[in-house]
Structure formats: structure tokens, C-alpha cells
Amino acid sequence: MADTRQYCTFFLDKYYFGVDVANVQEIIKQQDFTHVPLASEVITGLINLRGQIITALDLRLRLTLPPRPDDTPPMNVIMRIDGEVVSFLVDKIGDVLDVPENLFEEPPETLEGSARELISGAYKLEGRLLLILNCDKTIAMDSAA
């Protein structure tokens, strides 16, 4: 059997994304947040998770996708990346998938803008494309809008 990678999946707009399951701390429903004055527009605010203050990033804005409809509350994917804890705001949570490493491909040529920089590759699955998010680049605010 081929080596596999395990990804936590989620949806943003019409796209299907995955992050390494080892970086996922937990998934929680929408939380109240405190706005951060003068912060990048991709920073929705700060959330208090059991006494821990966590920065919430709107992945739609980070990936230059259309804004989330007002009637669609985001889900929080709490990530632990290089010792830092951050929340990725997503539209909908998918499944945890095991995918064969040999199916991994370079990012599609059709990706544009910041999405091109933040996607490390893709897996062609039956009926859909799983885009793998580079979490380190995603949280690097020097390239954020």
C-alpha cells in the first residue's frame, strides 16, 4: 500500500481545501471576536478560547475569494503552527481524508493571486480537487492584504 497523508478538509466558496491533520488542534463553531484596530483586513479579530487569546484569520479574504455571505456563520479551525495557535475561519468543515502521497501534484495553473502562493499542491480526487493549504505561508502576514 502506498504511503498516505491525512488532511482535515473544509470548504471556502466553491473550493475544497485541506490542511495537515497534525496541525489541527480542534474545530469549533463561530465565536465572538474582538476587532483589532489597524490590523490587516484578513484578521477578523481575536477570540478567547478557554482563556487563550487566538488570532482569527478569514481565509476567504486571505485567498482573495469573495466575502462570506452574512447569513453564513464561519467555523473555526484552530491550528497549531510552529508553536503559534491561530484560527482559520472557513465556510464548512469536511472530513478527515487519507490520500496517497503519489497522487500529490503541483498547484493548478489556474490559481491566481495570493491563492497561488498559499497552495502547496493538490490531489485529484473522484469528482473534486483537494487544494492543500501551506499553513506557514498563510499565517505570514508580510504577504497578507
Q: In the predicted model, what is the mean pLDDT of residues 123-127?
A: 91
| Inter-residue contact 119 to 133 (CB < 8 Å) | yes
pLDDT digits (tens, 9 = 90+) for 65-122: 999 888 889 999 999 998 899 999 999 999 999 999 998 999 888 877 777 889 999 9
pLDDT at 107: 86
pLDDT digits (tens, 9 = 90+) for 1-48: 569 999 999 999 999 999 999 999 999 998 888 999 988 889 999 999
Whether pLDDT at 143 is above 60:
no
pLDDT digits (tens, 9 = 90+) for 47-68: 999 999 999 999 999 999 999 8
Direct distance between the N- and C-terminal alpha carbons of the chain, in angstroms, rounded to an integer: 42
What strands lie across the sheet with 75-81, from one edge to the other?
24-28, 75-81, 84-90, 52-58, 43-49
Which amino acid is located at 69 in the chain?
A: P
pLDDT at 48: 94
- Close Cβ partners of 55 (under 8 Å, ≥ 6 residues apart): 36, 43, 46, 86, 87
Burial tier of 35 (Cβ tally within 10 Å: 0-12, 13-18, 19+): exposed
φ, ψ at 106 (rounded to 5°): -65, 160
| Inter-residue contact 105 to 121 (CB < 8 Å) | yes
pLDDT at 142: 58
Hey, what domains does the chain have and what are their CATH numbers? 4-143 (2.40.50.180)
Which residues on adjacent β-strands are paired with residue 123? 104, 130
**Is pTM beyond 0.75 here?**
yes
pLDDT at 111: 77
